[in-house]
Chains A and B, each alone.
Chain A
Amino acid sequence: MTRNRTLTIGASCVIFSIFLALLSLIWTPYDPLEMNSELSLTGPSTAHWLGTDENGRDILSSIIVGSRATLMTGILAVIICMVIGTSVGIATSVAPKWVEMPAIFGIDIVLALPTVLFAIVLAAVYGPSTWTAVFAIGIALSASVAQVTRREVVVVLMADYVMAARASGCGTWRIVTKHILPNIRASLFVQASGACAIAILAESTLSYLGLGTTPPAPSWGRMMASFQQYLLINPIFPLWPGLAIVITVLGFNLLGDGLRESLDPTLRQSEK
């Protein structure tokens, strides 16, 4: 495990972000909502390590608190997409043909509709908020989770021991719980990790566009959007939310890759 650099780097980044989120619950350098118009747009200083935004709010605190929205969206979206995706994936693999065909069709359709576009439409209907983002991303991602899960399940179903189980009268439900789930468990972790990365990227994009987390709750994407206006004054501002996003997303990506590497022999590789 120690030889797997990818895994360690990925895990460290993820832990860092989680740490920030947890930290924000108990302490931040300043209240991120506290406005102080005299300190508008100051650069990094000893008082404010990352500077202040246009309303004099401390950027570092905003970043720390922003991790909450990001991680929450990511984790919730992943829970949704994994639960739906895995169930649909498994169900359609063991279902009779006449159920399977339209289901595959349905999955393809959802797959074709881009995640963010779907979220935009949803935002049009229900108004922007963290929850629309979570919901939209979760649903959209569940399609690709379902697809990958199906591939994995098909492989397991072809194994000799499954056929033996079937032959000895093992019911479908038992096959699912006893054979399929344990064998795809590793792949599910990898998928969850990747899905989290995508979800976080999507959330930050949505909030950049103004369709995600609403003010005054700090959100990395929205911070970036507002800082863009002040590029001429100090181009360093967008760096902070940007770095935060990249570290988190990279963390989950590397975590997924690292998991896949270390679980390799028991995992059937599907082209990513």
Chain B
Amino acid sequence: MRRLALLVMSLVVSSALVFLLLRLLPGDIAQAKLGIYGTPEALEQLRAEYNLDKSLPVQYFDWLSGAIRGDLGLSVLTGADITQELIAKSTLTLPLLGLASFFAVVIAVPLGMLAALRFRKWDGVATSVVSQLGIAVPTFWIGVILITIFAVRNQVFPSGGFPYEGWANFPGAISSLILPASTLALAQGAVLMRFARSATIDVIQQDYFRTARATGLSRLHALRIHGIRNAMVPVVSVLGMQISTLIVGAIIVESVFALPGVGQMLLQDVNVRDYTKVQGTVAATTAFVFVISFVIDLVLGILNPRTRQRA
């Protein structure tokens, strides 16, 4: 319960911060929008419409009360409903994130365990080296390399873009997401792999692992039974902590692959200085991060029965 309160407070504070930052801008929004057509009356009217004539705290609370109900307001520049736009773009970004996380875990856990098993042998060391490289390589470069290999040299996947019909064209949609998701997964996987590896090494050194071996399980078998669940705990928790990195990765990847998702939208809004939209998007994103962290904590609680008892 206390955690829930903390969560809500964090959301409020961070959205307030973003609000403040954006409002610190020089320049008059109304003026910017109307330009030379800005007669004093028109400016007044616009300001009233967007509550720009009220004091800052009032503006913020107006926004907040709307946001809680799911209404993020209208874009100052285009007049479009922000929530609607966000939802529309999320249909691309959310599956991208999900797919990427799934790939990341699927890559990281087995490789990490392999690296741990073959601790001193060459493929163990090689996997560690690969994971070190993976952390140092910028995400966008991975994307460019993947494009070069799979889209330019051999036309297996599209080098960018998303089908016009969206998910109605299911194979096309999936095909557009494979390379971007893989890019993200490779970047994330490198980090996760280190944790999977150290968690597995930890398991191998445990007494219960020795007991399992004493009952006649081979190292691989014992790992499969005892190792995976125990190794998952730090991996899942790191994945939770990495959610914000994943989101940033999504922004980058959407840029690399020209995907019209939330990230792409955010970048464009930043460029045209659509403050209300940026505010709404950042707030929604932060909320998403917090919620996911909360969910992950719950999942970890389920995975680890000892903490379950205390809760």
| Binding partners A and B | yes
Docked-complex contact A209 and B282, CB < 8 angstroms: no
Beyond A112-B14, A231-B148, A245-B138, list 6 extra A-B contacts (CB 8 Å).
A122-B21, A231-B147, A231-B159, A242-B145, A249-B138, A253-B135
Complex Cα distance, B256 from A238, in Å, reads 13
Interface size on A, as a range, is 35 or more
B contacts with A: majority SS: helix
CB closest residue in chain A, given B266: A120
Q: B159 contacts which chain A residues (CB < 8 A)?
A: 231
Task: Confirm or deny: A40 has a beta carbon within 8 angstroms of a beta carbon on chain B.
Answer: no
Interface size on B, as a range, is 35 or more
Complex Cα distance, B20 from A122, in Å, reads 12
Most chain B beta-carbon contacts within 10 A, residue among A114, A201, A205, A227: A114
Docked-complex contact B290 and A112, CB < 8 angstroms: yes
Task: Confirm or deny: A123 has a beta carbon within 8 angstroms of a beta carbon on chain B.
Answer: yes
Task: Confirm or deny: A29 has a beta carbon within 8 angstroms of a beta carbon on chain B.
Answer: no
Instruction: Output the least CB separation between B29 and chain A (Å).
Output: 13
Interfacial residues, chain B to chain A (CB-CB below 8 A): 9-10, 13-14, 17-18, 21-22, 24-25, 132-133, 135-141, 144-145, 147-148, 152-153, 159, 244-245, 247-248, 251-252, 255-256, 266-267, 269-270, 273, 275, 278, 282, 285-286, 289-290, 293
Complex Cα distance, B17 from A238, in Å, reads 38
Docked-complex contact B133 and A246, CB < 8 angstroms: yes
Docked-complex contact A114 and B248, CB < 8 angstroms: yes
Docked-complex contact B247 and A117, CB < 8 angstroms: yes
Docked-complex contact A124 and B140, CB < 8 angstroms: no
Task: Confirm or deny: A182 has a beta carbon within 8 angstroms of a beta carbon on chain B.
Answer: no
26 A-B residue pairs with Cβ-Cβ distance under 8 Å, sorted by A, are A112-B289, A114-B244, A114-B245, A117-B244, A117-B248, A120-B251, A121-B21, A121-B22, A121-B278, A124-B269, A124-B273, A125-B21, A208-B252, A209-B251, A224-B140, A224-B141, A225-B140, A232-B152, A235-B153, A238-B148, A242-B137, A242-B138, A246-B133, A246-B136, A249-B137, A249-B138
Instruction: Output the least CB separation between B20 and chain A (Å).
Output: 10
Q: A205 contacts which chain B residues (CB < 8 A)?
A: 138-140, 248, 252
Task: Confirm or deny: A191 has a beta carbon within 8 angstroms of a beta carbon on chain B.
Answer: no
**Interface residue from B137, B138, B247, B290 paired with A208 (Cβ < 8 Å):** B138
Instruction: Output the least CB separation between B86 and chain A (Å).
Output: 15
Instruction: Output the least CB separation between A163 and chain B (Å).
Output: 31
Instruction: Output the least CB separation between A53 and chain B (Å).
Output: 15
Instruction: Output the least CB separation between B199 and chain A (Å).
Output: 10
Query: What mask results when residues 104 to 125 of chain A are scored 1 for a CB within 8 Å of chain B, else 0?
Result: 0100110011111100111111
Q: A113-B286, A238-B144 are in contact. Are A246 and B137 (CB under 8 A)?
A: yes
CB closest residue in chain B, given A251: B136
Docked-complex contact B285 and A117, CB < 8 angstroms: yes
